[in-house]
Amino acid sequence: MNNIIHHDSATKHVTGESVYINDMLVNNNMLLGKVVFSKHAHAKIKKIDFSEALKTKGVHAILTSVDIPGKNQMGPIVHDEFCLATDEVTFIGQAVALIAAESKEALLIAEQLIKIDYEPLEAILDIETAIAKNNLIAPPRKIERGDPETAMNKAPHIIKGELKTGGQEHWYLETQTALAVPREGKDIIIYASSQNPSETQAIVSEVLGVAKNEVEVEVKRMGGGFGGKETQGNHVAAWAALLANFTRCPVKIHLFRDDDQIMTGKRHRYFSKYEIGFDDNGKILAYKVELNADAGSSTDLSMSILERATLHADNAYFLPNVRIIGKAWKTNLPSNTAYRGFGGPQGIAVIENAIDRIAIFLKKDPAEIRYTNFYQHEKNNTTPYGETVENNRLFLMYDKIIESSEYFKRRKEIEKFNDENEFYKKGIALTPVKFGISFTTSFLNQAGALVNIYNDGTVLVNHGGTEMGQGLHTKMLQIASAELGISPDKIKVNATNTSKVPNTSPTAASSGSDINGMAVKNAIDILKSRISEVAVAEFEKLYPSDKTLKENIVFENDFIFDKQNPSNKISFEDIVKIAHFKQVSLSSTGFYKTPGIYFDREKGVGVPFFYFSFGMSVSEVMIDTLTGRHTLLRTDIIQDVGDSLNEDIDRGQIEGGFIQGVGWVTTEELKWDKKGNLLTHSPDTYKIPTVNDIPKDFRVELLKNVPNPGTIRKSKAVGEPPFMLAFSVWFAIKDAISAVGNHKIEPEFSLPATYEVILLCSEKLKKK
């Protein structure tokens, strides 16, 4: 397959021609929309008075919950999220009213004039308080195997602990945006920045009280998503739709950066408790963990995310006796949502930290303890929920990366450095990732496509996945090109549109190429079969002496030929024309569902994943114990992507995912004040990695010759897994801090390891 094709929008990106929703101008009647949101974490709304505001020049409409023609609801799974607040607000940033006006200035003036009377109520602003008040959002989840109680009691050593992992702001460069254009009758089209157009369609039809066939949603591209537009892109779409429906004008809402940061949900912060029993070699005998998630004010995807967290509580390790409990707690903060890794990072963090503690306790190298506990090949290879870990690459990767990174040699050098330096300390760590691929909500593992061949020989591919930069459309284009045997410049991948492919699943769970690629292939297979029949008939006419069989027709290099008689050929363009004259349909849908996966939530058992993705990384850092600053000196990564569909794109996903993870584990800190106001509400205080924060020496390798059976062109998903490779950075920092106390005392700290955390923890160890 043509493996070095560039991102299909690359040229448009670099020339500034790529169109994002905020760049669109449908006509001169277009209005701008603004969301007026709650300034209280929890309060009764006593009165909303916008009579003055409505008089502002240029203002066309101000809407509140009473103006919603359909249901006041935008929860994606559980219907517990208001589109506009009614008589109560439950977080700062909750939408209360909407304004449509001709200019930004008019919006701002009107907003100032809207008077909302609140009566503040008590608010729950952290997990601890939610736990104390038993404010569960849904019943807990549990996965259990063996007899963790007895095994723990019998274990030679036990370590107990707690770990806090922070939330994370998505910080997609393009903030939430939507443009709604009313059409005749009740019809409306939404240009959305959404990872889930079908759900955007569902929510819009719900709030407008119209049928789904009256709502069309189109997604050309997103300026980044990372999970933040899996459900929460629906919100702006619903608000824009309400305003457009009311004013009968196109309405665009593009959230201002600070508003986006204040209003939208983030990665869930977790507060976890664990207990681990092990023997003298560091072999784990029993593991008990309770994962507590801050769900925020409504359910959103919290339970699915929690599910994935519990399903990743093992990471790469065989846990013979294990109990995993997951609880999601309701607080008065924006509803937390999907973010690359989808709970995986939160579950993995805890077991990795437990293992690290075993190493410090036993005075062994953490890499060796990790190795000791890896899933095995023949035995000890089933997960706590009963799925067998197949095609395990852990040992292969471990050997490779230990050697390529010169792990043990550098470990020695670091020890020497640390002996010689009082204030600077270095640390190194190796961490593995095993990540399950598939939606754990099994029915979502389906995809559709619509492939049209036009009678000039060009092809238009529609599929249900959305493009947010990950290169999905490019991969679909490559697949179509390879399957049809025609050059990529004859093919275009269309904007994702609910009227082309209906009832799609979100582009999430790293499954975009896996499932959509298969659906595209399915459509093409159908078309090829039809075209082959035409070709057989045609060859019979042209080459009557050679009997051509349908199964011998090959599509390659823009031609169709008979495998038996390769000189018997006809160009793709010609055969398409002939097929059209012969009244053969040149358009087909395609469909795919992932086979054989299921998960029983009640029992906590099943085969939720089609396969596992593996990765491993080694990072080295230096910290300055006087200032808390860390420097990422070097990172080595090995990632298993099966037979890569596009090495450049996969590499980009690995590097980008890893650096996003580095941000999560180091500088990205969310802070609220005592009233629930987000203090870090702009890039001034919320710090994602810059070009200077990437490893000074960054080596990324794709594992070679590891085809993945059963997937599209034997490839593997690559979107999320690399994110968790960044744990090597957090543990390298931990290793460096631990050196302050000569590795005698466990440094207890949370994630992210900000400068503050590093400094305060180092100070504590210095005193001991």
Partner 1 sequence: MNNIVRFVLDNKIVEIDFFKKQELKPTTTVLNYLRSYPEHKGVKEGCAEGDCGACTIVVAELDKNEKLVYKTLDSCLVFLPMIHGKQLITVENLAIEGTKEKILHPVQQLMVETNGSQCGYCTPGIIMSLFGLYKNHNNPSREIIEDALTGNLCRCTGYQSIIEAAQKACTVKGKDHFSEKEKDVVKMLKNIAENKESLVLSTENQKYFKPFSLEEALIIRLENPDAIIINGSTDVALRQTKKNEHFAKILDISGVEELKTFYEDKDCYVFGSGISIEQVKNFSKETLPALYKMLSVFGSLQIRNIATIGGNAGSASPIGDTLPLLFAYGAKLKLTSGAGDRVIEIEDFIKGYRQTDLGNDELIKEIIIPKTDNSTKINSFKISKRKDLDISTVSGAFKLKLEQENVSEIILAYGGMAATTKRAVNTEKFLTGKKWSKKNVEEAMNIVAEEFTPLSDARSEAEFRTIAAKNLLMKFYIEN
Task: Tell whether residue 173 is a contact of ligand FES (CB under 6 A).
Answer: yes
Q: Which of 291, 288, 295, 266 is nearest to 136 (CA)?
A: 295
Residue 219 has φ and ψ, to the nearest 5°, of -125, 110
Using a 10 angstrom Cβ sphere, with 0-12 exposed, 13-18 middle and 19 or more buried, the burial of residue 576 is buried
Angle CA 705–435–289, to nearest 5? 145
Task: Tell whether residue 692 is a contact of partner 1 (CB under 8 A).
Answer: yes
Residues 103-122 that bind partner 1 (CB under 8 A): 108
Which of 257, 364, 492, 530 binds partner 1 (CB under 8 A)? It is 257
Min dist CB 469 to ligand FES, Å, is: 5
Spatial separation of the C-alpha atoms in residues 148 and 136, rounded to whole Å: 25
Residue 6 contact among partner 1, ligand FES, none, beta carbon within 5 to 8 Å by kind: partner 1
Which of 469, 608, 657, 721 binds ligand FES (CB under 6 A)? It is 469
Min dist CB 527 to partner 1, Å, is: 30
Residue 211 contact among partner 1, ligand FES, none, beta carbon within 5 to 8 Å by kind: none
Min dist CB 677 to ligand FES, Å, is: 22
359 within 8 A of 369, measured Cβ to Cβ: yes
Spatial separation of the C-alpha atoms in residues 91 and 40, rounded to whole Å: 6
Spatial separation of the C-alpha atoms in residues 240 and 492, rounded to whole Å: 29
Which residue number, 170 or 500, has a Cβ lying nearer to partner 1?
170
Residues 639-668 that bind partner 1 (CB under 8 A): 648-649, 651-652, 655-660, 667
Task: Tell whether residue 23 is a contact of partner 1 (CB under 8 A).
Answer: yes
Which residue number, 132 or 173, has a Cβ lying nearer to partner 1?
173
368 within 8 A of 356, measured Cβ to Cβ: no
Which residue number, 543 or 698, has a Cβ lying nearer to partner 1?
698
Task: Tell whether residue 10 is a contact of partner 1 (CB under 8 A).
Answer: yes
Spatial separation of the C-alpha atoms in residues 743 and 759, rounded to whole Å: 17
Residues 376-405 that bind partner 1 (CB under 8 A): none
Which residue number, 248 or 671, has a Cβ lying nearer to partner 1?
671
Which of 12, 55, 183, 416 binds partner 1 (CB under 8 A)? It is 12
Residue 540 has φ and ψ, to the nearest 5°, of -60, -40
Min dist CB 171 to ligand FES, Å, is: 9
Please measure the distance between the N-terminal and C-terminal CA atoms of the chain and give it in whole angstroms. Answer: 60
Residues 332-361 that bind partner 1 (CB under 8 A): none
170 within 8 A of 224, measured Cβ to Cβ: yes
Task: Tell whether residue 29 is a contact of partner 1 (CB under 8 A).
Answer: no
Task: Tell whether residue 688 is a contact of partner 1 (CB under 8 A).
Answer: yes
Spatial separation of the C-alpha atoms in residues 57 and 110, rounded to whole Å: 9
Lay out the sheet containing 115-120: strands in order across.
Answer: 88-89, 43-49, 115-120
What is the chain's alpha carbon radius of gyration, rounded to the nearest angstrom? 28
Which residue number, 25 or 173, has a Cβ lying nearer to ligand FES?
173
Residue pointed to by tokens 């490019």: 474
Which residue number, 13 or 671, has a Cβ lying nearer to ligand FES?
13
The SS3 assignment for 154 reads: helix
Other CB atoms within a 10 A radius of the CB of residue 704 amount to: 8
Task: Tell whether residue 689 is a contact of ligand FES (CB under 6 A).
Answer: no
Q: Which residue is nearest to ligand FES (CB)?
A: 173
Which residue number, 682 or 742, has a Cβ lying nearer to ligand FES?
682
Which residue number, 310 or 667, has a Cβ lying nearer to partner 1?
667
Q: Which two three-digit tokens encode residue 529?
A: 């079969």
Residues 216-245 that bind ligand FES (CB under 6 A): 224
Question: Which residues does residue 593 pair with via DSSP β-bridges, in sequence order?
Answer: 446
Residues 550-589 that bind partner 1 (CB under 8 A): none
User: Catalytic site residue 467?
Assistant: no
Give the interface segment with partner 1, choosing from 159-167, 217-225, 457-465, 529-537 (CB under 8 A). Answer: 217-225
Task: Tell whether residue 663 is a contact of ligand FES (CB under 6 A).
Answer: no
Q: Which two three-digit tokens encode residue 164?
A: 């806090």
What is the DSSP pairing of strand 446-453 with strand 157-165?
A: unpaired
Q: How far is CA 65 from CA 70, 73, 88, in A?
A: 10, 10, 11
| Catalytic site residue from 390, 720, 748, 756 | 720
> Which residues are tagged catalytic?
720
Footprint of ligand FES (CB under 6 A): 173, 224, 469
